[in-house]
Structure 1
Amino acid sequence: MPGYDGAKRHGGPVLAAALLLLAACDARPPTSAPGAEPQAPSLSAVRLTAQAGGYTATLRRTSHGIPHVLANDYASLGYGYGYAFAQDNLCELAQALVTVDARRSRYFGPDATYAAPLGGELLNLKSDFFYQSIKDAGTVESLLALTPPLGPSQEVRELVQGYAAGYNRYLRDTGVDALPDPRCRGAEWVRPITEMDLYRRYYQLSLLATSGFFLDALVDARPPSPLPDGSWPLPLPLPAGIDPNVFPRSESLGFGSNAYGLGREATRNGQGMVLANPHFPWEGSERFYQVHLTLPGQLDVSGASLLGVPVVLIGHNARLAWSHTVSTSFHFTPFELKLVPGSPTTYLHEGQLRPMTARTVTVLARAADGTLEPRSHTFYQSHHGPMLEYPAGQMSWSGLTGYAFRDANATNLRVLDQFLAMNKAQSVEELRQAQHTWQGIPWVNTVAADDQGRTYYSDVSVTPHVTNEHITRCVLSPVALLILQASRLPVLDGSRADCEWGADADAVEPGILGPGRQPHLVRADYVTNSNDSYWLSNPAQPLTGYPRIIGDERTARSLRTRLGLKMVQQRLEGTDGMEGRGFTLEQLQTVMFNNRNLSGELLRDAAVAMCRRSPFVLLADGRWVDVSKACPVLAGWNLRGDLDSTGELLWRVFMAEVTKATGGPYLVPFDASRPVSTPHTLNTLHPQVLQALGLAVQTLNDRGVRLDAPLGTVQGTRKNGTFIPIHGCSHAEGCFNQMGNRVVGDGTYAPILGTSFVMAVSFTPTGPVGRSVLAYSQSTNPASPYFADQTWLYSGKQWVDMRFTEAEIASDPELSVLMLQE
């Protein structure tokens, strides 16, 4: 059944039978609301009996290729999902599994690179050494052998088993040589997959913001050799400061997100609403895929998951909706080791000498003539963890000191059970209990709301047990203190036992913080997060007193965080130009795509006045730039990132430069008593602020881009040769609808990350009403009808109805139905 098979509406006996099934069931719970439509029998009445040891699933696709998988056991549910996903994205997942199987050098060559999940490029050979070390250690196998909650539940095992089988069924039916996606048709690296392949993929996802971020640094760690004069290399000279973005945070990870949880005091109907706006890559293995999964009586959840994941990561069920944002918590710590002079692989611990363990891994790499040759690499490990070579963060292996890396997610294969439990939760309280039970969220915050109008924020993620007292006692060296000051990351003394990670009685395993030490908030009005710390999830109730490793308090919030809070506050006050007070679903959608630019609202007028006063700008390199044509462009800008916004791109380049000004560009500094409104006012007397305007004009002139070019003519993505204009603007500008771009050869901006899966859900007396759009569309296959359709919708600020009930699914004009059995 290659391609996009299935019975279309108005055709065939299979469809007739399927429509009878759909008409006989409705997943929405009965309601006694006056005037409510009569409810159909529940799904429990539907007979979907699987063959013994086999799989049976019904795969319905609604408009834009969104699959709704119906089955009566977890294995069959995974089977239907795996089949649907393979139809749309087999090539993308197949290549991701080559990565975690440590075979990129074998198929693509050791010296080639690929797009790293967190941005930038990774060398195939280094990637293979890293993932081969995980395979050789049997890490995933050991975690699979544990009993829940440390190991997977039987339900998760069945989902994964079925997902692999469904993927393989599609591959078998289609054949590698007949795959519809030309990017991997006939490729030798496309093969049937195993459950272990998928578990390695899930382990990779857990490590994204920890070991995955430091992959190069972990592979680059080698013991130093004596210098020609017989001495040993000394530690790196201590600089005046360190860029905090060399460590994992929202900006450096390339990930971000906005999320609103709106409660009964913030919505017009007195029930909950959620806005999900993850900012994830548009290309590669960290794309979202939209799906609806139904297992009668046990699971009914709609939303999105990352490639290969058989549960919903961001979404809603009948009574609860939730989203995630990248957390400010550090989920790892380095340990500074005191090395034995003359023996850089021996370190001191509690006054005793400890030798490091050396482990050599070998992979096969394709030579220029096509033959395969072995390549080997040796990793060195202390009892804290593997050694690290990271000069960008001032951590380098010398003759005196070395740095070991301990990853709190190194034992976390709980992630699928964590999200399955959240998929099933029917209230904020059940969601919180699910997080406390599994403690498997690797690196994100949670924002949620339920149908009773309760909202929830938490950063209950896998975080090292490092308290503030621990930091005071164990962060002592000049390097460690410098890193702590720059980034909040504790580099612990690796020579003392009392500097090891601690333990909490309510933690699922030793070494991580228990949920009792982690921030959470339940309110009836709202909670938000836009990648700053927990402190200001709601300004009316700041969260304080938590370990510093989780986040900072009483510090300036990003412009994006401030705009997100302002938009909620203005809607509740009725001062945003829309009707009434409090949110309707339609108003929530409008807020999402209003494309306001907070830096422009705060600073544009002062910048225009500065421009008019100083039409010629002397740059630091001695060049003079005429900025006079920029003045009317900025004055006429509508302060938004819409397709027709002229001047937005000029402002974007200006803001990218002005934020580099020594001491910052603001005249009024941050005030912790006014965190949403400060800092503000452009310091036009700062010479670097004026130079930033000159640099912005010069940059666009050099690229051949008009200063007044409408945003939609210079920001967009090309799909099958067609340019699709994309709205939205950058984090540095304070844009809620964030787009991160790369500049391509013609001077235009192509989105590489930012707004991806967008979901707005409102609970009503008759069930949830959801709208969504997947900005880059469902499929990565250029031949698919779902390759660009939602990208055009996003371009036009249009949304897709999230059809949740069986009646809603059955009424979709593009419905197709496929009965799968094996």
Structure 2
Amino acid sequence: MLRIVKTGGMGLAGLALAVLAVILVRGAIEAPARIDPAPLIERAADYDVLIRRDEWGVPHILGTSDADAAFGVGFAHAEDDYATIEEVAIATRGKLASVKGEKAAVGDYLVHLMRVWETVEARYESDLSAEVRRVIEAYADGVNYYAALNPDRVTPGFLPLTGKDVAAGFMFKTPFFYGLDKTLMAIFEGRIGKAGGLSKEGVDAFLPTQTPLPVGSNAVAVSPARSADGKTRLLVNSHQPFTGPVAWWEAVVRSAEGWHVAGGFFPGTPFMLHGHNRHLGWANTVNEPDLIDVYALTINPDNEDQYLLDGEWRDFEKQVAKIRVDLWGPFWWTAARDVLFSTHGPVLKTDAGAFAVRYAGMGEIRQVEQYYALNKATQLGEWIEAMKLQTLPSINYIYADRQGNIAYVYNAQFPARVEGPDWSGVVAGDDSNLIWQGYLPFEAVPKLFNPNSGFLYNANNTPFRATAPRDNLRAEQFASSMGIQTDMTNRAMRAEETWGADRSITAEEFRTYKYDLKYSDGSEMARLIDEVLQVDADGDADLAEAQNILAGWDRVTNRESRGAALGVLMAEPVVRAGLMGRDPPAALDTLRDAIATLKTHHGRLDPLWGDVNRLRRGDVDLPVDGGPDTLRAIYGRLEADGTLTARGGDTLIMFVEWDRQGRLTSESVHQFGSATLDETSPHYADQAPLFAEMRTRPVRFEEEDLEGHIAESYRPGER
């Protein structure tokens, strides 16, 4: 018997070794072929570009042509954040699960469901101009050149990045800004509404999450009529995750062909997404009109591959998505999943039924065309013509220029829906009359130009409150089928109570209002405090003390506040649940959780807010003012020690102004610094103290501004 057991054990061990050998052989056979870096390096000789970095490490890129400058943008951005650029491209290719494992498979499936690559392959040559293709391909060449010079940082099989990757990235990501991923994830979960969606943050980027970082932004424009000194002012203040695929990287780009911009870029994007050129600028904020329609399909009981439309059974179009999932070491498996499409759009079959989805941005790859046109616009008319391209499915625009014009566009691809059905719910999928074709024209989009008030703002709120009441758009001017949002945020209320209440705004006041720290009387915070103050403490000493603290709190989130920690820790879980479309917890329950956290870790219910709310980066650990949904927006992660680490909100902030003669000045600050990933760089966290103190630094836009401030000057590859 012992001999049999030993023999059996040896046999199993031999079998295991044989299986491992097969896996290793398969891995060697199927491993990505090594890319010869020589052609990628040789291509760099085609470009004439110089990178100058100022004392803050911010790149100032000077190219002979726009393509030369784009090559420099790609190279410089890769120097600072190559890993994120690569990850964005891998995710856009639908191959992130091969790197990050099973959790990333959902995102990979969405790439197939959205037909990203089918569309790009079909339309890249026809829909994109030769000029734009040259620019985005030059950006890709710049990234490739950096990668070829640093092969140890490259994921096997990734190279080369292509212009198609760049175009596909815009197609894949832009619908997520109005919440497409949240809607699709909710359907995956068997319900209609919104779920957590895909993370946009750090190492968890593109993975499903139930605790997404809230996205929002502030944008304000003030005309000479509203400024005490006659200047035109623009606030660029997007709220993003501090790290990851939608974290800002700042650059100044200039070419001899007229492309000259300063502002924020996302990893994988060649163009300035918001900021300014010499003549004009704009700021973006997220908007959430109803741009998604969910259709309930009737499935043929005799053939699950058919659905009912106009009284006839139609065949689903079916494809198979093959998703490679990394397991461990040489181990992986390939998941094959059906991808279904109806006349409406992509289809998801769930336990709750079969649903088709139609959404803004389907089949659109021209986003790069519009951004290029916006970057190069020199006056309001040209900027409007760029906006009329309507390739961007959503996002608000607040505009200002050197002539003193200001504007607001509640930008979206509004589906051309028929009136009648409740488009906010599930729509019957058996009537082709309900399958909209195309979008409303730009003339139908809510917008305001040069209101008499001289003031425009958006803080992720309804477009029907954007300026003085007498100048505002009215809901009855627009069809209900457009699904225009009607909500207000605390930041919107405070914008009206600061900029909106001041008829002669000085430069100092403009900045002070941006860094406002207060929750409005009409805010959700104020409502929640009122709610818990109505509760009878009934002998609960901790609850009674907490109520006294909240009753005495002025709802200001300055770092010296003794009430902010309790208020924010109580309110944040309630507000977050609402943003995710889930039933919020009771405020009294979250208050008790806050009490426990503060007593355990701080020994008191009223610690200084600055002792709790921290900005951390490398060795930097600083107190920071602000909180969720304040104009000085800070969103934190609760740590094991009971403190909060800021992980999103205010990021790249820009104050832009033109004087009466049209002369431009600009200042900015980044939450960390230009060296996104290099912890050894002096610019990894050098702007963090400025950011924490709510200060800014000059944007050295013109050559004469940059003179005397160049810390490094080099051609790509010669640093």
Shorter-chain TM range is 0.7 to 0.9
Question: Where does residue 591 of structure 1 map in the other structure?
Answer: 513
Question: Where does residue 107 of structure 1 map in the other structure?
Answer: 99
Contact residue 705 and residue 747 of structure 1 kept, 8 A: no
Question: Where does residue 514 of structure 1 map in the other structure?
Answer: 441
1:535 maps to which of 461, 464, 470: 464
- Please tell me the residue identity of whatever aligns with 1:370: P
Q: Secondary structure at the match of 1:640?
A: coil
Identity among equivalent pairs (%): 23
Question: Where does residue 22 of structure 2 map in the other structure?
Answer: none
Question: Where does residue 566 of structure 1 map in the other structure?
Answer: 497
Q: Structure 1 residues 659, 371: CA separation in 2 closer, same or farther (over 3 Å shift)? A: closer
The gaps in structure 2 that reach 5 residues or longer are 1-41, 201-210, 579-585
Which structure 2 residues correspond to residues 602-751 of structure 1 after superposition, within 5 A? 616-617=537-538, 624=540, 626-630=542-546, 633-634=549-550, 637=553, 639-656=555-572, 696-701=594-599, 704=602, 706-731=604-629, 735-751=630-646
Residue 54 of structure 2 corresponds to residue 74 of structure 1:
no
Q: Structure 1 residues 601, 546: CA separation in 2 closer, same or farther (over 3 Å shift)? A: closer
The whole-number CA distance in structure 1 between the counterparts of 2:87 and 2:145 is: 18
The whole-number CA distance in structure 2 between the counterparts of 1:780 and 1:644 is: 32
The whole-number CA distance in structure 1 between the counterparts of 2:525 and 2:395 is: 32
- Please tell me the residue identity of whatever aligns with 1:346: Q
Q: Structure 1 residues 790, 198: CA separation in 2 closer, same or farther (over 3 Å shift)? A: same
State the shift of 1:696 in Å.
Answer: 4.1
Question: Where does residue 151 of structure 2 map in the other structure?
Answer: 176
> 1:207-242 deviations in whole A, cap 9, x for unaligned?
324544455467789xxxxxxxxxxxxxx8xxxxx8
Contact residue 245 and residue 252 of structure 1 kept, 8 A: no
Question: Where does residue 428 of structure 1 map in the other structure?
Answer: 380
Residue 91 of structure 2 corresponds to residue 195 of structure 1:
no
> 1:704-745 deviations in whole A, cap 9, x for unaligned?
5632222222122432244233321112xxx11222222122
2:432 maps to which of 476, 497, 501: 497
Residue 287 of structure 2 corresponds to residue 310 of structure 1:
no
The gaps in structure 1 that reach 5 residues or longer are 1-49, 112-122, 178-184, 222-235, 237-241, 390-395, 476-483, 503-510, 573-580, 619-623, 663-687
Q: Structure 1 residues 187, 157: CA separation in 2 closer, same or farther (over 3 Å shift)? A: closer
1:167 maps to which of 143, 153, 174: 143
2:391 maps to which of 416, 428, 440: 440
- Please tell me the residue identity of whatever aligns with 1:514: P
Residue 412 of structure 2 corresponds to residue 466 of structure 1:
no
State the shift of 1:51 in Å.
Answer: 11
Question: Where does residue 269 of structure 1 map in the other structure?
Answer: 229
Contact residue 617 and residue 694 of structure 1 kept, 8 A: no
Contact residue 398 and residue 458 of structure 2 kept, 8 A: yes
- Please tell me the residue identity of whatever aligns with 1:725: P
- Please tell me the residue identity of whatever aligns with 1:528: Y
- Please tell me the residue identity of whatever aligns with 2:713: V
Contact residue 52 and residue 61 of structure 2 kept, 8 A: yes
- Please tell me the residue identity of whatever aligns with 2:225: E
The whole-number CA distance in structure 2 between the counterparts of 1:145 and 1:211 is: 27
1:386 maps to which of 334, 341, 346: 346
Q: Secondary structure at the match of 1:803?
A: coil
- Please tell me the residue identity of whatever aligns with 2:511: Q
Q: Structure 1 residues 625, 356: CA separation in 2 closer, same or farther (over 3 Å shift)? A: farther
Question: Where does residue 124 of structure 2 map in the other structure?
Answer: 144
Q: Secondary structure at the match of 1:423?
A: helix
Farther-moved stretch of structure 1 (542-551 vs 625-634) = 625-634
Contact residue 79 and residue 162 of structure 1 kept, 8 A: yes
Contact residue 327 and residue 459 of structure 1 kept, 8 A: yes
Residue 299 of structure 2 corresponds to residue 339 of structure 1:
yes
Q: Structure 1 residues 407, 145: CA separation in 2 closer, same or farther (over 3 Å shift)? A: farther
State the shift of 1:526 in Å.
Answer: 1.1
Which structure 2 residues correspond to residues 98-497 of structure 1 after superposition, within 5 A? 98-109=90-101, 111=102, 123-132=103-112, 138-146=118-126, 151-173=127-149, 175-177=150-152, 185=153, 187-188=155-156, 191-209=159-177, 211-214=180-183, 216=185, 254-368=214-328, 370-388=330-348, 396=350, 398=352, 401-436=353-388, 438-467=389-418, 469=419, 472=420, 474-475=421-422, 489-497=424-432
Question: Where does residue 793 of structure 1 map in the other structure?
Answer: 690
The whole-number CA distance in structure 2 between the counterparts of 1:660 and 1:815 is: 43
> 1:293-335 deviations in whole A, cap 9, x for unaligned?
1123522111112111111111111121111111122332112
State the shift of 1:167 in Å.
Answer: 1.5
Contact residue 290 and residue 484 of structure 2 kept, 8 A: no
State the shift of 1:77 in Å.
Answer: 0.9
Contact residue 305 and residue 313 of structure 1 kept, 8 A: yes
Question: Where does residue 14 of structure 2 map in the other structure?
Answer: none
State the shift of 1:75 in Å.
Answer: 1.4
Number of aligned residue pairs = 651
The whole-number CA distance in structure 2 between the counterparts of 1:729 and 1:63 is: 30
TM-score, normalisation: structure 1? 0.73
Contact residue 54 and residue 821 of structure 1 kept, 8 A: no
Which structure 2 residues correspond to residues 15-94 of structure 1 after superposition, within 5 A? 54-94=46-86
Q: Secondary structure at the match of 2:498?
A: helix
Question: Where does residue 807 of structure 1 map in the other structure?
Answer: 704
